[in-house]
């Protein structure tokens, strides 16, 4: 069983710089859900020089859209979506202060360069485990773009949310390291499927 590191949001650079690709992490604190539509709106606001509905500094985005909460629960299933869909927007959001991202699958070289430049970090959550991940969420509130439904920005409070560091602030890539270790070709890894 690998060592597990416990971290908290907001994500400060000192904490980010202690993590390396392949680390297993339990994250507690506040996360914001954000998918394609929310990313597009945030970047448009940045381009227009307008105030964002949330402060991105030291925050983390979870690329997920929660399903409706069943009776007695805080949230429905909340599994990660494919991160590459957000790649076109990510460098601008990192420049605006975002420090952490959670999703599944690989990031583009441009995003990896931006992660290094802005001392940020990218984590993977386990795909297909949305119902189990929901058990780590203790509160959920819509805080922006309510008209987007499940793709609105939600403020989540999480406790011991299980993650793996994929891209650290030093440029390391856990998917590439794993393929090299096991002699796999790019595209033969589950992280590249959509």
Among residues 46, 52, 57, 58, which one has the least CA distance to residue 16? 58
Q: Are 18 and 170 in contact (CB under 8 A)?
A: no
Phi, psi (degrees; rounded to nearest 5) at 129: -115, 30
DSSP state of 10: S
Q: Which of 39, 118, 154, 189 is catalytic?
A: 39
Half-sphere exposure of 156 (CA within 13 A, CB side): 31
Report H helices in 32-89. 36-47
The answer to whether 80 and 124 have CB atoms below 8 angstroms apart is yes
**Which two three-digit tokens encode residue 166?**
């994929």
Q: Going by C-beta distance under 8 Å and a sequence separation of 6 or more, which residues neighbour residue 16? A: 99, 100, 119, 120, 121, 168, 169
39 is known as an active-site residue: yes
Residues annotated as part of the active site: 39
């Amino acid at each position: 069983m690998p060592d597990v590191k416990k971290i908290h949001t907001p994500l400060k650079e000192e904490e980010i710089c202690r993590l390396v690709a392949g680390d297993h992490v339990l994250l507690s604190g506040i996360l914001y859900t954000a998918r394609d539509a929310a990313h597009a709106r945030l970047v448009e606001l940045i381009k227009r020089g307008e105030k964002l509905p949330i402060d991105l500094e030291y925050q983390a985005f979870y690329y997920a859209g929660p399903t409706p909460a069943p009776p007695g629960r805080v949230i429905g299933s909340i599994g990660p979506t494919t991160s590459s869909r957000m790649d076109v927007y990510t460098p601008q959001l990192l420049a605006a202060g975002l420090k952490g991202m959670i999703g599944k699958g690989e990031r583009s070289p441009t995003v990896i360069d931006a992660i290094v430049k802005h001392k940020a970090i990218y984590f993977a959550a386990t795909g297909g485990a949305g119902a189990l991940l929901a058990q780590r969420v203790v509160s959920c509130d819509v805080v922006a773009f309510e008209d987007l439904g499940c793709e609105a920005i939600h403020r989540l409070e999480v406790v011991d949310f299980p993650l793996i560091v994929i891209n650290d602030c030093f440029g390391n890539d856990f998917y590439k390291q794993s393929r090299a270790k096991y002699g796999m070709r790019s595209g033969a890894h589950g992280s590249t499927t959509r």
